[in-house]
């Protein structure tokens, strides 16, 4: 699923915006950041969620 042409990033960003950071563990948020965007881990769930949404919107 790394291929951006197979994802609907805007829709995924909207779904994630509806979830509180606590809906996923820090490991889970960081796993998504690394898998989808090869990004380094965040320090908090809030940071990881925000970075993931920002990357999906860019």
- pLDDT value for 42: 98
- pLDDT value for 7: 73
Show me where the domains of the chain are located.
4-57
Measure the CA–CA gap between 37 and 20, rounded to whole angstroms: 21
Of 12, 14, 48, 17, the closest CA to residue 31 belongs to 48
pLDDT tens-digit series, residues 3-47 = 656 678 999 999 999 999 999 999 999 999 999 999 999 999 999
pTM value? 0.86
């Amino acid at each position: 699923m790394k291929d951006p042409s197979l994802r609907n990033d805007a829709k995924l960003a909207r779904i994630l915006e509806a979830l509180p950071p606590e809906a996923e563990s820090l490991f889970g948020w960081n796993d998504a950041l690394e898998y989808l965007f090869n990004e380094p881990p965040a320090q908090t769930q809030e940071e990881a969620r925000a970075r993931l949404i920002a990357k999906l919107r860019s």
